[in-house]
Every structure is written in C-alpha cells, then in structure tokens.
C-alpha cells in the first residue's frame, strides 16, 4: 500500500494541486450554467490550470512564469469574448489564482491546500457576501469597521512599543491597544444584537462589555432605558451580567500577570461570579417570557428589533472608549505612585483608582503579589476595596444614566454581590 510519507515533494504537490483544482472547479461548474450562454471555465478547466501550475513549477521557475502569463492571457481572452451579461471577473481571477495555488503546492502543500479551501469557500459564499455587503451592513457600520481597521493595522504599528514611566510603565502602543479592545467589544455587542436579536444580544452585550468596563456598560444600559431603546428588565439583566464579567476578568488578568495567584483568588471569583450569573439568568428568562407574551398580544415585540433590523447610529463610540482608556491609565499611574507609601497608602490609592474602574488597580495588585511584594491577605483586601469602591461608582452611573428605578436595581444587585464576597473573605481570614 502506498504511504503518503513515501511520496516525494513533487508527487505530493501534484496530488494537492489536482485536489485544489477539483475543489474550486466543482464550485465553478455548478455556477457556469448550461446552454450557449454558459461560462467557459468549469471543473476540467480549473483542474488543468492547477496541473499546469504544478508541472511548470516542477520543471523550472522560468516555465512557471511563462505558464502564469499564459493563464492570465487566456483568462483575459475568455472575459473579452464572453457573451454573459455579468461584468464580473470572479471566474477569470479564480482561474489565475488556481494556477498560482498549483505552483505553491510544490514548496508549501499545506498552505496551497488551505488557500484552495479558502478560495472555494469565498466563491460558494457569493450570495451571503452580497447580502451582507448590500443589505445587512449599514453605511455607519462600514465606516466604523474601516476606522477600527485603520487604528489596528495602520496606526498601532507606528506607535512606540517601549514603556514610558509617566504612563504607568505602559507603552503608547499598549494604550492604543486598550482603546482598540474597547472598540472591538462595542462592535461585538452590536453584532450580537444584530445576529441574536435584542433580548439575547443585549444580554450578551452586557457580558462582553463588562470585560472592558462594567461602569461604562451599566451607564450605556441606563441610557437605553431612559431613551426607551430597551425595557427595564432586559437592561437590568445586561447590567448584572457585566458584573459577572468583572470577576472573570480578575481571574484572566491573574493568569497573565500572576499565574500563581489564580489558585488563591479562584474561590473568591467563584463566589463573586455566581450571584450575577444566577440573577442575570433569572432576569433574562423573565424578559424572554414577557417578550413572548408581548408578541402574542400585539403581533410583534415593541421596541425589540429583529436580527436583520438596520442599526440606527454609529456602532463605535470613540469618545467613550478614549474616556474609559484614560480612566484606566490614570488609575494605573495613581496606584504606581501609592505603592511606595505602605499598605495604607496602597489601599487608599486602590480606592481612588477604583473610582474610575476596577480593572487597573486589580492588575497592579496582582502584579505586586506575583512579584512577592504583597501578601495574600493584603491582596484579597485590596481586590475587595477596589470592587467595593467601584461598586459605588457603578451604582451612581446607573442611577444618573437610567433613573431611580434602574439605579436602585443595579445598586441592589451590587450590594448583594459584593456583600457575599466580603463575607467569604472575612470567613477565610478567621
């Protein structure tokens, strides 16, 4: 029996090239149509193009270049003589790409196979991609996507990667990365609402938003309640789930800056995350039941758009992302200053930094513990101080953004969550 490992690189290349040509050609064959108006390139043409590419590559690089030019000329001639009313160049470009994949199959067969699968998938997803670009994606979403891509792919590589002392030992590149992460979480929440609908999507937005800033998420949910964009119960559910993300984020940060501390704080995280998850699940279930009743009574759920409903307004809130990033950065700078003033100064600095957001002081505390500069008890105490003070900030933000009813509900959930966590820490210290 022939073993794959016994084949030479050229033989493997021929096999991969023929498989790639067959895969791409099958997709094109199904779309070429029948009769006198059918397209010229189908299964056999694509297999021959792939075989031509791999054979030319095996003989010499010069012959491969000549073969590629020949395929390009034949594709151009086919396009010019086509009697189809479709002005697209997809088939012709796919034919040239298939020849290149055949050439790639000799030196890098794995990459050639992956490229063939990707090309065939793109060709098969024609209707879905067309619907996404022309119907599903709005103008605002397109602009925001281009902005996010420009920040991540153009601006971030240009910024210095060296840490700066007065920036809390963060580099400008890391600061921009934080802004990009916040914007990406906003986009993820928006896409969740578009795909899953308002009920499931809004809850997922709250959970994802909490990984960036629970304060900002609660404020956003309160604003949606005040403006009538979301029902009170559903916005409350999203706000509560953002609290769960804060606890999970603590464990994730520990895995990066102080892996040994994960075992220490894991029980506290388990206690802390259980309350918002259970309460959030109960609120979401109640919102689904009430939403179904509303649909049954009125024929549609008022104020709850479907997954294909166009979004109103921009997706990304750049000013909000910059504000949250600035608050986190300021907290890191403040805590770095307080570190040199003893435990009391550290806890005071933690409390002041946590007024903006709990993530920055928690990262600093975990990093200090990982370096051996902070004992376990002081670590647990500092983490709870950060969460408690920031809980006041989150409750205030909910009250100011969503009004008295929303603020009281958020404050109650925070009080229950943090109170149980404090009880756990106190029981551990006895």
Residue 365 belongs to a domain = yes
Which of the four pLDDT bands, split at 50, 70 and 90, describes residue 217? Answer: confident
Residue 110: domain span: 4-124
Residues 228 and 335 in one domain: yes
What tokens were used for 63?
């012959």
Residues 107 and 171 in one domain: no
**Calpha distance 57→425 (Å, rounded):** 68
pLDDT at position 35 over 60: no
User: Which residues make Cβ contacts (< 8 Å) with residue 390, sequence separation at least 6?
Assistant: 214, 215, 354, 355, 357, 358
Residues 104 and 144 in one domain: no
Whole-number Cα distances in Å, 176 to 25, 140, 334: 44, 22, 19
Between 193 and 33, name the one with better pLDDT. Answer: 193
Residues 241 and 289 in one domain: yes
Which of the four pLDDT bands, split at 50, 70 and 90, describes residue 306? Answer: very low
Residue 205 belongs to a domain = yes
Residue 129 belongs to a domain = no
Q: HSE, CB side, 13 Å, CA atoms: give it for residue 220.
A: 27
**Calpha distance 219→216 (Å, rounded):** 5
Q: Which helix (H) or strand (E) holds 269?
A: helix 261-298
What tokens were used for 23?
């895969």
Residues 219 and 248 in one domain: yes
Residues 113 and 143 in one domain: no
Task: Please check whether residue 181 is in contact with residue 195, taking contact to mean a CB–CB distance below 8 angstroms.
Answer: no
User: Based on the structure, what is the number of domains in the chain?
Assistant: 2
In terms of Cβ atoms closer than 10 Å to its own Cβ (0-12, 13-18, 19+), residue 425 is middle
Residues 310 and 181 in one domain: yes
Residues 289 and 388 in one domain: yes
pLDDT score at 269? 92
Residues 267 and 238 in one domain: yes
Residue 373 belongs to a domain = yes
Chain center to CA of 99 = 35
Q: Report the C-alpha dihedral over residues 213, 215, 220, 224, rounded to 10 degrees.
A: 140
Rg of the chain's alpha carbons, rounded to an integer? 29
Residues 97 and 150 in one domain: no
pLDDT at position 87 over 70: no
Residues 397 and 340 in one domain: yes
Residue 131 belongs to a domain = no
Averaged pLDDT for residues 226-233:
82
Q: What is the pLDDT of residues 338-367, one digit of tens each?
A: 555 555 666 666 676 666 667 767 777 777
Residues 379 and 318 in one domain: yes
pLDDT score at 369? 77
CA angle 35, 100, 52 (to 5 degrees): 65
């Amino acid at each position: 029996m022939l073993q794959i490992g016994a084949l030479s690189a050229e033989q493997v290349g021929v096999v991969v090239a023929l498989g790639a040509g067959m895969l791409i050609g099958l997709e094109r064959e199904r779309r070429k149509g029948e009769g006198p108006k059918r397209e010229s390139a189908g299964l056999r043409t694509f297999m021959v193009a792939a075989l031509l590419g791999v054979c030319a590559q095996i003989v010499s690089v010069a012959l491969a270049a000549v073969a590629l030019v020949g395929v390009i000329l034949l594709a151009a001639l086919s396009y010019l003589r086509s009697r189809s009313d479709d002005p697209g160049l997809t088939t012709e470009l796919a034919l040239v790409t298939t020849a290149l994949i055949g050439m790639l199959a000799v030196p890098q067969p794995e990459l050639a196979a992956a490229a063939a699968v990707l090309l065939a998938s793109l060709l098969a997803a024609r209707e879905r991609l067309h619907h996404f670009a022309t119907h599903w994606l709005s103008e605002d979403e397109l602009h925001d996507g281009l902005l996010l891509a420009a920040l991540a792919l153009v601006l971030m590589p240009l910024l210095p990667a060296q840490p700066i002392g007065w920036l809390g030992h963060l580099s400008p590149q890391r600061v921009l990365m934080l802004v990009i992460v916040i914007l990406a979480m906003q986009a993820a929440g928006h896409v969740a609402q578009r795909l899953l609908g308002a009920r499931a999507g809004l809850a997922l937005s709250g959970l994802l938003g909490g990984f960036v800033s629970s304060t900002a998420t609660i404020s956003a949910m309160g604003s949606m309640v005040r403006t009538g964009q979301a029902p009170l119960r559903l916005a409350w559910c999203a706000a509560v789930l953002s609290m769960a993300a804060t606890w999970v984020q603590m464990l994730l940060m520990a895995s990066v800056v102080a892996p040994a501390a994960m075992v220490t704080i894991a029980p506290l995280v388990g206690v802390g995350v259980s309350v918002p998850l259970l309460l959030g699940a109960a609120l979401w279930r109640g919102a689904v039941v009430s939403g179904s009743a509303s649909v049954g009574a009125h024929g549609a759920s008022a104020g709850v758009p479907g997954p294909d409903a166009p979004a109103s307004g921009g997706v990304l809130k750049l000013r909000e992302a910059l504000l949250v990033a600035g608050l986190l950065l300021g907290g890191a700078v403040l805590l770095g200053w307080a570190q040199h003033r003893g435990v009391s100064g550290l806890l005071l600095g933690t409390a002041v930094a946590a007024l903006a957001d709990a993530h920055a002081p928690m990262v600093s505390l975990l990093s200090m513990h990982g370096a051996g500069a902070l004992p376990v008890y002081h670590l647990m105490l500092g983490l709870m101080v950060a969460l408690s003070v920031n809980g006041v900030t989150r409750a205030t933000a909910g009250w100011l953004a969503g009004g008295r009813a929303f603020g009281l509900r958020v404050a109650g959930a925070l009080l229950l969550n943090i109170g149980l966590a404090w009880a756990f820490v106190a029981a551990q210290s006895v």
